Each structure stands twice: as C-alpha cells, then as structure tokens.
Amino acid sequence: MVQATRRDSLRENLGLEFRRGALVLAVLSQLRQEQYGYSLKKALAERGLEIDEGTLYPLLRRLEAQGLLRSRWSLEDGRPRRYYRTSALGEAMQGDLAADWLSLARAMERLLR
Amino acid sequence: MEVIDRYVHEIGEHLPWNLRADVEAELRSLLQDSLEERARAAERPPDPLLAEAVIRDFGAPEEVAKRYLPQDQYLIGPRLFPAYQLAVKIAVIVVAAASGGLFIAAIVGSAVGNREGPDLLAVAHTIWRVAMGVFFNLALVTLVFAIIERVQARREATAPEWSPAMLPPVKDPDRTSQAGMVLQMYMILAFAVLFNFYPEWVGMAFVNGRVHLTSFLKPAFATYMPLVNTFWALDFALHLTVLSQGRWRRETRAAELALGLYGAVILYLVITGPPLFMFDFRVKAILKGVLALVLMGSASRLYFLLRRRA
C-alpha cells in the first residue's frame, strides 16, 4: 500500500516535470487568437489538455512578463475580462518550441518503439 | 459571492502591492466564469456551495499567490545554503559556549559576598544579554549571506560565457574553502562586536575563585579603535569579495598583502605606544611575536605574487 502510494506520488512528480514545459507551448499555440483565461482553459480542455486554473492563470502572467504575450482589459456583459494573445516574440518562440517539440517527439517515438 | 471575495482578498494579501489590484480583478472575473459554468452543469443557480467547490479546485491562497511570483527568488540560494547552515551552527556553538560561561559566571559572581544566595536580577540580566547576543549573531550571519547572494547574482548576470579554459587546476592554491572563509568572517565580526560593544568582557577572568570583569584594556586603547575597526572592516570586505568570487585572484592577493602591512603598522603603533593593557609588558612581548609573524606572512605573500607574475 505504502509502495503504491510512493509510486503514485513519484509518477505525479515526474509527469509534472515533463508537462510543465509542454504547457508553455500549448498556451502559446492557442493564443495566436485572442482569448481570456477561462476561454483558453476550455479551448485546451476541448483538445484534450486539462490544466488546473491555479496553474494556468499565473502562467499567463509570467509569459506576459517575459514579453511572450500581451494583454488588454475589455468589458463584456458588464464584466471586465483580461484578454491575452501572443506578441511577435511569442509567435516566433512558439515556432521554435514547436520545432523542438516535434523533433523530440520523433526521437522519443524511436526510443520507445 | 462573499466566499470568492474573501478568497481573492487572501490571495492578494500574499502578493506584492504592484501586482495585487490587477491580479485580484482578473481572478474575480475568472472565478465568476468558473462558477457560472459549474452552475450550468449542475442545473441550478450559483450558490456558496458551488463557489466553495470552485475555489477548492483552484487551490490554497498561498500556493496560488506563489505561482504569480517570479520563480527562483531566494534570500539565500541553494548554492550558499550549506555554508549558511555551517555559519549558523558556528554562531550557535560560539554563543552557547559563551553564554554557558557567562551564566556560570553570573551565578558564581552574584553569589559571592551575598549571603542570601545568587542575585537573581543579575542572572536574569545576563540571560537577557545572552538572548540578545544570539539574536544579533543570527541576524548578522543572515544579513551577510543575503548580501553575498545578491552580489553573486549580479556577478553571474554579467559573467562571460563559461568555457573549459576557465577550469582551475586540480591543485589550485587560489581555491577557497567556503567554510574556512565563513569561519574567518565570523571571527572578525565576533572580535569587532566584542571590542566595540563589550570591551569589559575582554578582561573577564576567574581570580581566586572570584569573577573579575575589570577590563583587560586600558582606556587609552580606545584611541586605537578607529584604526583597528578600519582594519576589521577592510578585512571583512576582502573576505566577502573572495567568497563571492569563489577563489583568490591577483587583485585580492595584492589587497591581502596591503592589508597585512596595514595590520603590521597598527601593531607597531600599539607596541610602541603608551601602556594599553593590564600586564602591559607581557602582552606587548606577545604582540611583538605576532608582528614578526605578520611580517613573515606578508613577505611570503609578496614572494608568491612576484613569482606568479614572472
């Protein structure tokens, strides 16, 4: 029982490690069109990538601070919403990271075959 | 929804003021979106139970706030932490040893000539001073390491790209031991604090079973303190520089030589000056020996510097 719990916890930590980098690329790929936080979460979930909100929203702020995203406030149905989209740097970065990702995926596929 | 307001406010409390209002406004709007979505799925209007479920999924306020902050911000980073732990241990051991001695001295000292037993007020006063000493020492150690962390972070930001040519030899006389440097810096600070703030403790001694707190230093010694303090300040700054650079360099070796010569000048002035210590003649004889050692040390450093230049 203890062994199984330890295995679960280790698996979660290792899984989180490789998911962390992938999330940045996933977010950049979806923000070529302007979206606000909640709509982005739904867009990612619809494509099979569930991400908890407590992780996604701070990530958007950090990417904006790094100059990869830009944002603006907009009032919709009486509610203020912050919309994000990739900056020029973010778009270039998304292209570079996507190439890295595909190359890594091909290599992993060969390794795991 | 009141629970959402409280939650957002609590997250804001853990954020820097310049981020707070903006993040709070965004979170409030996003949580409202989540709540409405959940209410639609549950086919009932939003209520406090649904709001609680939303914020439970979101996470503990401290954890969420932490994700909004820049990563890898340390007061003392992982590289310096082992040396910091060592310095704290040294500080605690030094203070514990000194306080043990003082505690015994206070009890014995206050009991002597007092038929009703030890003077509890004097003992309490000593304990208070010791407690302040512990606090002061730990604060000082932490401050020094926080400064080193900042200095190193700034240096790394402007450092040239690493290359294998930068690897030092296996037997490298310029390599520094972090523990050794920290110990030396701590000794400098301890002496500076002792001589400047508690000069009467310099002469504390047991004579015929009684504690004497008569200062070992005569009042005239105070005129030499600016010179001695300057020496300690420069020595501390030199150690700080070497520690942050990770190894001795030509400039810091030259500074060490100059500082040694400055120390020799101070020693010479003390030896040839008026009576400054209890048992002045004997102390000055010891200081003459120290001066000879300092001069020999400086000569070997000069030789080392010239040989490496050649």
How does the average pLDDT of chain A come out, rounded?
90
Burial class of B138 by CB neighbour count within 10 A (0 to 12, 13 to 18, 19+): middle
Task: Compute the CA torsion angle A44, A50, A54, A56 (nearest 10 deg).
Answer: -30
Residue B12: other Cβ atoms inside 10 A: 19
CA distance A56 to chain B (A): 9
Q: Which of B26, B29, B64 sits opposite A54 (nearest CB)?
A: B64
Using one digit for the tens of pLDDT, what is the confidence trace for B155-176?
777 777 777 777 777 777 788 8
Total structural domains within chain A: 1
Mutate to test the interface with B, among A40, A52, A61, A71 (most CBs of B within 10 A): A61
Query: CA triplet B112, B118, B122: central angle to 5 degrees?
Result: 100
Spatial contact of B238 and B255, defined as CB atoms under 8 Å apart = yes
Chain A residues closer than 8 Å to B67 by CB = 54-55, 58-59
Query: Is pTM beyond 0.80 here?
Result: no
Q: Which domain holds residue A82?
A: 2-112
Cβ neighbours of residue B176 closer than 8 Å, sequence gap 6 or more:
B242, B243, B246, B247, B248
Domain CATH code at residue A91: 1.10.10.10
Query: Least CA distance to A36: which residue of chain B?
Result: B30
Enumerate the residues of chain B whose CB falls inside 8 A of the CB of residue A52: 57-59
Q: Per residue in A82-93, pLDDT tens?
A: 999 999 999 999
Q: What is the ipTM of this complex?
A: 0.79
pLDDT tens-place string over residues B44-79: 998 999 999 999 988 888 888 888 887 666 788 877
Question: Cα B13 to the chain's mean position, in Å?
Answer: 29
